[in-house]
Amino acid sequence: MKKNVFLFLFLICWHLFSLSQIQPKTDPIYKPKLTGELFVEKKYKGSQYATSEWANSIIVLCTGDTVWGEKIKYNGYLDEVIWLHSKNFNKFKLDKSTISEFWIKTSDSLTIHYKQMSIPTILDNEKIFIETLCEGNLSLYIHRKINQQGVSEENEEGTHYELEILEPDNTYFFKLPTGQWIGMHKLDMNHFLKAMPDQKQAIIQLAKKYHLKFKSENQCIKLIQLINKEILITNK
């Protein structure tokens, strides 16, 4: 009996040792690093960020390397990713050209996925960071853009100054099965249906069946998912 127990423990130890040998070990020198420049925040009336808190992230670089666990925010006014350094707490504007996509996890456990993409409907086909809401034969993205909406006259302790007023100005982008893109600032069912005339009646019936309102962002996402599942069942 003792011999069997000893053999069993030996086999477990050997198995654990073998696993430890095949796990990749990354030399800290060769870990992917973030690059950018020091960012000095300017004061505005309204937030320049799409989310209020610094969030843990997964950042995929254009090289294919992945950086884990850094605190970042997406700046919708500048269309830039701002990084809070964990050691010196300085803020850096990351080199946009090095970032392919990133995920952030908010304090309420919501995971948000951004990609850097070119949208044909935007002037000069410029690359921007867009939030991925749903991807498939029919895809839905949103540009969490923040724009200046005027100037506020401020007076503090006898000092007069002006602040730019910032407000969200979201744009929804749909990538159709044909490869065509359409954009809208407000979710409009009629505008959407005009772009998909062959599926129009089926989409209307699907929305009625599941009691979904296109104007609601969350319900629109569910509708797009159902369209992919129940109407656009062919592969890309």
Q: Residue 24 corresponds to which amino acid?
A: P
Quickly state the pLDDT bin for 29 (edges 50, 70, 90): low
The answer to whether residue 195 is domain-embedded is yes
| Same domain as 75, residue 170 | yes
Instruction: Judge whether 36 and 62 are in contact, CB under 8 Å.
Output: no
| Same domain as 163, residue 194 | no
Tell me the pLDDT tens digit for each residue of 147-196.
999 999 888 877 888 999 999 999 999 999 999 999 999 999 999 999 99
| Same domain as 156, residue 132 | yes
The answer to whether residue 124 is domain-embedded is yes
Range of the domain at 101: 26-185
| Same domain as 167, residue 220 | no
State the pLDDT at residue 1: 53
Tell me the pLDDT tens digit for each residue of 58-93.
999 999 999 999 999 999 999 999 999 999 999 999
| Same domain as 57, residue 166 | yes
The answer to whether residue 11 is domain-embedded is no
The total domain count for the chain is 2
pTM of the model: 0.82
Q: Which of 142, 167, 185 is the last residue of a domain?
A: 185
| Same domain as 203, residue 175 | no
| Same domain as 158, residue 84 | yes
As a whole number of angstroms, the distance between CA 225 and CA 230 comes to: 9
Count Cβ atoms within 10 A of the Cβ of residue 102 and give its class: 0-12 exposed, 13-18 middle, 19 or more buried. Answer: buried
The answer to whether residue 16 is domain-embedded is no
The answer to whether residue 1 is domain-embedded is no
Mean pLDDT of the chain: 87
